[in-house]
């Protein structure tokens, strides 16, 4: 089983729709969770961290479910500019004091006019 | 600009050639990571530096891969005797944090735009 698994998509949604992605992780000791966004042929950029209590940033909501070992990303009122690949990132606390995070393969979102 | 800079942007190498990929992290960033990203996949960890010390090289796929950061700033990833399976985008990322919560939103990973290596 992969450490971090995502549905690769693509998710094709109309503008204005709400879309949600899930990501499952295998290491129960994982302590840090993030969503990164990667545009085509560009580098990944941090979208948001995921906190235990769930957190929201504008149209984006992230949730963590430790019992079932998954995180989710909800995008409301989708915009054309949201079209990208969304990478789930999970990190256990490394004994050396740094986090060697693991990236999922990404979920591709295409927002259609 | 003040971001992570990588060069070259594109590199085509004949099988068996050696290549060197350069990363200029954000000034003052302690942590530096190299990742390999194949088409349709997420970035895969290669190695990690804290200043000039290479603390983790567990992701390097073979002894043909070598990375250094001698003065704690610029880093070079060298691949000897390149093979076709080495074709990928090589991403460098730096982070301000020294240790705990590297990659958190108080010290996110800042990626360069990568070097696309094609081995023919």
Closest CA to B74 of B32, B44, B35, B111: B32
Q: Of B42, B50, B105, which is closest to A98 when you measure between CB atoms?
A: B50
Segment B48-98, tens digit of pLDDT: 999 999 999 999 999 999 999 999 999 999 999 999 999 999 999 998 876
- 3-class SS at B17? coil
- Would an 8 Å CB–CB cutoff place A45 in contact with chain B? yes
Mean pLDDT computed over B38-52: 93
Answer whether A100 sits within 8 Å of B48, measured CB to CB.
yes
User: Contact, A70 vs A25, CB < 8 A?
Assistant: yes
pLDDT tens digits along A4-58: 999 999 999 999 999 999 999 998 888 889 999 999 999 999 999 898 889 999 9
Residues of B in contact with A50 (CB under 8 A): none
């Amino acid at each position: 089983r992969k450490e971090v698994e995502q549905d690769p998509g693509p998710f094709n949604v109309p503008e204005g729709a709400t879309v949600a992605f899930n990501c499952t992780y295998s290491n129960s000791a994982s302590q840090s969770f993030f969503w990164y966004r990667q545009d085509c042929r560009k580098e990944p950029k941090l979208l948001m961290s995921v906190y235990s209590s769930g957190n929201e940033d504008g149209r984006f909501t992230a949730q963590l479910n430790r019992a079932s070992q998954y995180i989710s990303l909800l995008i409301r009122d989708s915009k054309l500019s949201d079209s990208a690949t969304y990478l789930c990132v999970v990190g256990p606390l490394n004994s050396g004091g740094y986090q060697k995070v693991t990236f999922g393969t990404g979920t591709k979102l295409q927002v259609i006019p | 600009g003040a971001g992570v800079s990588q060069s070259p942007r594109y590199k085509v190498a004949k099988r068996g050639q050696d290549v060197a990929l350069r990363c200029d992290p954000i000034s003052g960033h302690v942590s530096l990571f190299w990742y390999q990203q194949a088409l349709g996949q997420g970035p895969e960890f290669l190695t990690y530096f804290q200043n000039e010390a290479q603390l983790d090289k567990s992701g390097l796929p073979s002894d043909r891969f070598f990375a250094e950061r001698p003065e704690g700033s610029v880093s070079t990833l060298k691949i000897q005797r390149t093979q076709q399976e080495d074709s990928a985008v090589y991403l460098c990322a730096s982070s301000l944090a020294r240790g705990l919560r590297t990659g958190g939103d108080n010290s996110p990973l800042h990626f360069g735009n990568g070097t696309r290596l094609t081995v023919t």
